[in-house]
Amino acid sequence: MKIVVYYLKTGTNVPFCVIIDSPIKRRRGETVMQIMKDYEIHTETMVLLPCFDRYANLHTIVIEEQSYFLVAMPPKKVIDASCRYYGSSYEGRLEGIKRVMGISKKAPIAISAELSIFFFPLESPNNHSCVWLSHTHIEEIRPLDNRNTVILFTNGQAFTVPVPKGQIETKILRTAQYRHLLKNRIEVGKRQHHVYQLQKEDVQFVYDPVKQAYHIKKHE
């Protein structure tokens, strides 16, 4: 399956369109896809594509390793719902990468660091035309020309976006660095688990109402 994203500059209220080159059913000239009310990103999720319906409602085309379908939620809400599913939120993940790398704009998001699910936006997530890509599934990127890039995924699918190759390379490298830093912190945390064990002594923790603090009292 080959997917191409085109940005329209004709003054219409639809900023882009998505062309899917695949043998799929059509009805009255429209692409027929399965529609889901909500969705959580998992290890097989590769791409989140924004797409407007005929009523100008922003939805998401989700592309997985073996399938694709429509979700009746904007891409940013899919990201937030997925972060919440794994115990955080979009804002919480943004705060996390800001603390680790000092990045707050167009930042990669750790949907689940434990499952190695990291997504990054191709532009500002506040833009309706923002596409989200899974870092794990990207195999290679090739310049189509000075303004367009072909992204090859690990399952052999191709995806063309109107973004220069250099910009995508920067986003991929930044996401890789974030993954590496988080992995190191998790490993350090595991090692430190053995450092802060309490000594096996006969002690008592006594509260001092004057100092409003606890102190350790050893038994002789």
Picking from 11-15, 61-65, 94-98, 106-110, which range would have the lowest pLDDT averaged per residue? Answer: 11-15
* pLDDT above 70 (res 18): no
Evaluate whether residue 202 is within a structural domain.
no
Evaluate whether residue 200 is within a structural domain.
no
- Mapped onto helix, strand or coil, the DSSP state of residue 86 is coil
Evaluate whether residue 209 is within a structural domain.
no
* pLDDT above 50 (res 6): no
Answer for the pair 64, 44: CB distance below 8 angstroms, yes or no: yes
Which pLDDT band, with edges at 50, 70 and 90, does 212 fall under? Answer: confident
Residue-number span of the structural domain to which 87 is assigned: 2-192
User: Tens digit of pLDDT for each residue in 81-136?
Assistant: 999 999 999 999 999 999 999 998 999 999 999 999 999 999 999 998 899 999 99
Evaluate whether residue 197 is within a structural domain.
no
Residue 31 is predicted with a pLDDT of: 53
Residue 201 is predicted with a pLDDT of: 64
Closest-CA residue to 150 (of 162, 135, 136, 137): 162
Evaluate whether residue 220 is within a structural domain.
no
Residue 191 is predicted with a pLDDT of: 64
Name every residue whose Cβ is closer than 8 Å to that of residue 121 and which is 6 or more positions away in sequence. Answer: 106, 130, 131, 132, 171
Residue 202 is predicted with a pLDDT of: 73
Evaluate whether residue 218 is within a structural domain.
no
CA 153 to chain centre: 16
Tell me the helix, strand and coil percentages in the chain, rounded to 5: 25, 35, 40
Evaluate whether residue 203 is within a structural domain.
no
User: Tens digit of pLDDT for each residue in 138-197?
Assistant: 999 999 999 999 999 999 998 888 899 999 999 999 999 999 999 888 787 666 655 555
CA pair distance 140, 30, nearest whole angstrom? 31
Evaluate whether residue 160 is within a structural domain.
yes
Residue 96 is predicted with a pLDDT of: 94
> What letter would DSSP give residue 100?
H
* pLDDT above 90 (res 26): no
* Model confidence pTM above 0.85: no
Structural domain count, the chain:
1
